Amino acid sequence: MNLSHSTRFLLGWALVGLLTGGLLIFFSKAEPGRFNFLSAFHHADSYADAVNKAAPSVVSIKSFYRSKPTENLFPLNPELKYPEKKQPRFKIRPNRGSGVIISSAGYIVTNHHVVAGADKIEVTLHDGRQFDAQILGLDPDSDLAVITIDLKQLPTPSIADSNRIRIGDIVLAIGNPFGIGQTVTQGIISATGRDRVGLNVYENFIQTDAAINPGNSGGALVNTRGQILGINSAVYSQSGNYLGISFAIPIDLVLDVVQQIIKHGEVIRGWLGVEGVDLNPQALERVGLPNIQGVLITDVFDRGPAEMAGIRVGDIITHINDTPIRDTRDVLNSVARGRPGDKITISGIRQRQSFITQAILGKRPVNKNKH
């Protein structure tokens, strides 16, 4: 049977339509978590679903501090002062930030710098209800804190897989900038694994260009599925305001800190008991080892794990557990990943001779600068 050109044309487009319809039906019924063509087609211009999913778990935090008044309230006439009986003993200084409900039992994670030293902490939920909060535990080394409110069955966020974060992924920052109320900003992941920034002792930041301003600290960084990627922490700025470079603490690090604080009231990290300096060309030339990478030990804590393992001042640590050591931050991070009682293998050089020893980690003392 011979078909006309117009008939073949119409049949061809009909077949295309049937195939397209079948694909749409297939993708529309795809299981949760898999790519959904209809969703991508209809919602590529909006992140409202992601925000609606994550926003209820983000709270606003106001911390209050009492301090003695220092300024004269009559600057034009220094002779004028408060009468003795009316002179206020303290003034109240508020500090604003954000937080994320990390457990339905009333646990909220935020930044250490948002609540540390506060005399009173007030939490405002997404629905407007306000509650007084108590500090459960602080970890200044990671700039994280856990606070609690007396309320159960709270909304919690979905947790993203930290291993699947990619540079270029779209992200949303949810928080309370300048105390104006919950706000959402959008950007991309600019970098991962940022350390040596000089903000915290332990650093492994997600860098983003999503706008983060004062008050955003402690809020959520989420992906376009509404899953939390990290806790917004800081901006790279001399003024303190947004300049296009912001940092968030990855959620896997956050959860480790939170779980330890809930269980122990503190974060327990390994400790070696040494101080060192990064090797530079001048130091390497002095020791006659121009091609060595590692850390020069400058101090060893008395009766600490390093001294018990035979580490001496002047040693160069080159490897911990077979992992190369580039600088002092590598030593700090390698040791902190362990727990008290863990045994680590240390390789190094002493007087141009290689050595290997084993140390049993202790518990990192509070406010100790030694690794």
- The β-bridge relationship of strands 183-194 and 107-110 is unpaired
Closest to 136 measured CA to CA, from 144, 128, 127, 124: 144
What's residue 351's pLDDT?
Answer: 86
d(CA 206, CA 183): 20
User: CB neighbours of 50 closer than 8 A, spacing ≥ 6?
Assistant: 172, 222, 223, 224, 225, 226
d(CA 91, CA 310): 54
- Predicted TM-score (pTM) of the model is 0.75
Looking up tokens 């999913």 gives 53
d(CA 175, CA 100): 9
- The β-bridge relationship of strands 274-278 and 316-320 is unpaired
d(CA 340, CA 270): 5
Q: Which two tokens stand for residue 252?
A: 């896997």
d(CA 294, CA 346): 12
| Residues recorded for the chain | 371
State the CB neighbour count (10 A cutoff) for residue 317. 24
Extents of the domains making up the chain: 158-264, 270-363
What's residue 261's pLDDT?
Answer: 95
What's residue 337's pLDDT?
Answer: 86
d(CA 43, CA 38): 8
State the CB neighbour count (10 A cutoff) for residue 92. 11
Task: Tell me the pLDDT of the chain (371 aa) as tens digits.
Answer: 555 656 665 566 666 666 666 655 555 555 444 445 444 444 458 999 999 999 999 999 999 998 765 555 445 455 555 455 555 555 677 889 999 999 999 999 999 999 999 999 999 999 999 999 999 999 999 999 999 999 999 999 999 998 889 999 999 999 999 989 999 999 999 998 888 777 788 788 999 999 988 899 999 999 999 999 999 998 776 666 667 888 999 999 999 999 999 999 999 999 999 999 888 777 777 767 777 888 999 999 998 999 999 999 999 999 999 999 988 888 988 898 889 999 999 999 998 899 999 999 999 876 555 56
Kindly list the catalytic residues. 113, 143, 217
Annotate 287-356 with DSSP letters as a single string: HT-TT--SEEEEEE-TTSHHHHTT--TT-EEEEETTEE--SHHHHHHHHHTS-TT-EEEEEEEETTEEEE
d(CA 331, CA 298): 13
CATH class of 158-264: mainly beta
Query: Does residue 193 contact residue 152 with C-beta atoms inside 8 Å?
Result: no
Record: fold of 270-363: Pdz3 Domain (2.30.42)
Closest to 99 measured CA to CA, from 227, 200, 233, 229: 233
Query: Does residue 149 contact residue 132 with C-beta atoms inside 8 Å?
Result: yes
Q: Which two tokens stand for residue 136?
A: 């459960």
Over the range 125-152, which residues count as b (16 or more CB within 10 Å of their CB) and which as e? bbeeeebebebbbbbebbbbbbbbbeee
